[in-house]
Structure 1
Amino acid sequence: MAGEPQADCLFCKIATGDIPATVVRETETTIAFRDVSPKAPTHVLVIPKAHYPDAASLAAAEPGIAADVLREAGQVAADEKVDGQGYRIVFNTGAGAGQTVFHAHAHVLGGRGLEWPPG
């Protein structure tokens, strides 16, 4: 069922504390932790605790929680002190876009030049 923890989901297991992560922020609805394979000096993932496979399904079902994820991404940027120089919030949707864990999540990237287009 959408929103319910999935036994085979890495991020659900992080959200429940069954798998350790370097948590930098946590709220009632979200958890933010450092990416294990960072692509920038600051690379933090912000996830909803509820399980949805991607950002679009999260926003459709739980717009308030989707807003919580974005708000926390901004707070992570401030805490990491990259908000003044600029940072990127990325939602990959689908394997073709690079999504490897099918639990909605935002990447907060900063601390270096982030050219456009990314890659």
Structure 2
Amino acid sequence: MANREVEKAQHAHPEGETLFEKIINKEIPAEFVYEDEQCVVFHDVNPQAPTHLLVVPRKPIPQLSKADDGDQDLLGHLLITARNVALGKGFDRTGFRLVINDGRHGAQSVYHLHVHILAGRQMKWPPG
């Protein structure tokens, strides 16, 4: 399953409206766990762990490497939101992993910045 995500990333491109924009605009249904004026959190449709959530900014930043210095507050908000959601689900007791994929070699398959929250199983190291 993970190799399929890498394969998708090899063919993904940053042009046009993304799947995440359609989810944010509620054109495509998703199970929202949290939302505020800056971001949304929903379940990944292709989970890589028993709990796999995505923290997605409403602002369409294609990649972390393309974020502006002016996005500093938003980027911090994404991490604080990820932490709060993970703590709210009790993962402070067992642990969790946050992942941001960037670009083709980083296995980014949707060009809209997002933070993965992975939990519910023992993570492996090294991750890549």
- TM-score over 0.5 for the alignment? yes
Query: Given the alignment, which residue of 18, 26, 42 partners 2:27?
Result: 18
Mapped to 2, the partners of 1:59 and 1:117 lie a distance apart of 29
CA shift digits 1:38-61 (9 cap, x unpaired): 011110000100000112333534
1:114 aligns to 2:123 (yes or no): yes
Query: Given the alignment, which residue of 103, 107, 112 partners 1:98?
Result: 107
Give 1:37-116 correspondences, 5 Å limit: 37-58=46-67, 60-116=69-125
Mapped to 1, the partners of 2:61 and 2:115 lie a distance apart of 13
Identity of aligned residues (%): 39
> Which amino acid in 1 is paired with 2:47?
P
TM-score (norm 2): 0.82
Q: Which ranges of structure 1 fall in alignment gaps of 5 or more residues?
A: 1-5
TM-score (norm 1): 0.88
> Which amino acid in 2 is paired with 1:79?
G
Q: How many residues align?
A: 114
Which piece of structure 1 moves more, 94-103 or 79-88?
79-88
- The alignment's C-alpha RMSD in Å is 1.5
- The DSSP-based 3-state class of the residue aligned with 2:67 is helix
Mapped to 2, the partners of 1:56 and 1:80 lie a distance apart of 30
Mapped to 2, the partners of 1:96 and 1:81 lie a distance apart of 32
Specify which structure has the bigger relative contact order, considering alpha-carbon pairs within 8 angstroms and separated by 6 or more residues.
2
